[in-house]
Amino acid sequence: MAMAHRLSFEGFELDLAALELYREGEPLKLPPQPVRVLALLARGAGQVVTREELRRELWGDDTHVDFEGSLHSCIKQVRAALGDDASSPRFIETLPRRGYRFLPEVRSGATRPSRRRGWLLAALAATVAVAGLFLSGMMSASSRRAHDASPEAREALLKARYLLNKPDDGEPTSLDAAERYFREAIDLDARLVEAHEGLAEVSLRRGLSSGALDAYEAAVASSERALALAPPDEPPAAALFSRAMGLWYGRWDWDGAGESFERALAQDDELARAHHWYAYYLSGLGRHEEALREIERARELDPLSPAIQSDVGWFYFFAGRYEKALAASRRTLEIEPRFVLAEDCIVECYLALGRKDAAIREASRFAQHSFETLDALWRARLDSGRGPYDAGLAALRLGHEDEALELLREAVARRSLWLPVLRVDPRWSSIRDRPELVALEREVGLVEPRRER
């Protein structure tokens, strides 16, 4: 028996399949990630949903995402859509340092599923409701293709999707378990496009979190298999995106990555993460106006994302437009006052504008620690455990050029997410002509000119 994918409460209706919220039948504007937060809270109505549960269910272990800022932004957007007041809540109660509780009674229009299929159908609903940012792109395409697979293959695929964003709870991890079910689906039906997309997704996540080359290569292989199986006139955008990222970070194949980014966006212009990463790609090539257009499109699709808004500031910074970068970074702090990437950009802009005292004040305010000098700030950053790219910049500011280059070599070995902008990052300008830096740029694929598109 079919299970309804709608929850209702106090005049609102939440469509889990479409990730849409309605009030008295009228759709409300709410981006996908806040809808997923609302869905997770509503499904646990009356119970405390901890911040850790929200992080693991919706953001996973993606260290590139500022979880605290993103969650705070999502909760604010949900409250605004519901007309809720944090100081006197009717819908979402905040439990300081713990999490949130959804207060209204929630009703489901579901018919009772059979006992044999019950958990699986619930898993499908939960997957659609709480899947992370990467999975959302895969879901829209997969719903058009899985109906041709055998029931057993579909069941394995549903389990894989569900587990892909579940928290780790011992051995094996949820990511490992998701991979196992994707492979089971392929064993049952080798032509199941979504299963190959899923394997690409698993591998890409591993690559982004670890920098492992074999993970990126696996993402490329699985995405290319999905593309080979899909209709030629309907390539899945999610597979194209995974291929682009795998080619880019795994092989530093800029031309191949750019082509796949463009094909992904031609197939699905609403794939916000593809616009975001393609903007980063273009910025690294010095194609600043194109990068700014792409990041603005990403912001249009996800207007309250601190990560996207912060990168608006950074792309202006890399273009040498420091006043605009300052303005964009301040807007990020209006969305999320503790977003570290935006604060770093503000400090860097002040330094580029020759406003040393303002940079020290800003860094001290954000760190809640008084830095008397810039050297004190750089020493603190060098000792803070930041990644090797940031640590290398701090070493360079302290005058330790050889140490900075050694840290940058480590960043290249670990596939630091900053590396694509190495050549346009003005913070390295004092050693731009050193042969060691030129060699590292060449290793990242940034010396030979890339073809224009």
Give yes or no for a contact between 37 and 80, defined as CB atoms under 8 angstroms apart.
no
What phi-psi label fits residue 317: left (phi over 0), alpha (psi between -120 and 50 degrees) or beta?
Answer: alpha
pLDDT, mean over the chain = 84
Q: Which residues of 248-264 are buried (b: 16+ CB within 10 A; e: fewer)?
A: bbbebbbebbbbbbebb
Structure pTM?
0.68
What phi-psi label fits residue 219: left (phi over 0), alpha (psi between -120 and 50 degrees) or beta?
Answer: alpha
Give yes or no for a contact between 446 and 284, defined as CB atoms under 8 angstroms apart.
yes
pLDDT at residue 142 in the model: 39
| 222: Cα separation from own chain's centroid | 20
For the structural domain made of 6-108, what CATH number should be given? 1.10.10.10
pLDDT digits (tens, 9 = 90+) for 402-444: 999 999 999 999 999 999 999 999 999 999 999 999 999 999 9
pLDDT digits (tens, 9 = 90+) for 153-198: 988 988 888 787 655 443 446 788 999 999 999 999 999 999 999 9
Please, what CATH class does the domain formed by 131-268 belong to? mainly alpha
* Contacts of the segment 210-214: beta carbons below 8 A, 24+ positions apart: 211/249, 211/413, 211/414, 211/415, 211/416, 212/415, 213/250, 213/415
> Domain map of the chain by residue range?
6-108, 131-268, 377-453
pLDDT at residue 109 in the model: 57
pLDDT exceeding 90 applies to what percent of the chain?
A: 54
Q: Which residues of 326-364 are buried (b: 16+ CB within 10 A; e: fewer)?
A: bebbebbbebbeebbbbbbbbbbbbbbeebeebbbebbb
d(CA 183, CA 204): 16
In SS3 terms, 181-203 reads as HHHHHHHHCCCCHHHHHHHHHHH
pLDDT at residue 23 in the model: 86
pLDDT digits (tens, 9 = 90+) for 45-76: 888 898 888 888 887 654 445 566 778 888 98
Partners of residue 49 on adjacent β-strands: 100
Mean pLDDT of 263-277: 92
Q: What SS3 state is found at 338?
A: coil
299 — phi, psi (to 5°)?
A: -65, -35
Give yes or no for a contact between 370 and 376, defined as CB atoms under 8 angstroms apart.
no
What pLDDT band is residue 133 in, cutting at 50, 70 and 90?
Answer: very low
Instruction: Name the more confident of 143 and 225.
Output: 225
Residue 289 in this model has a pLDDT that exceeds 60: yes
pLDDT at residue 85 in the model: 76
| 126: Cα separation from own chain's centroid | 20
Residue 130 in this model has a pLDDT that exceeds 60: no
What pLDDT band is residue 309 in, cutting at 50, 70 and 90?
Answer: very high
d(CA 444, CA 415): 9
Question: Residue 388, preceding bond cis, omega within 30 degrees?
Answer: no
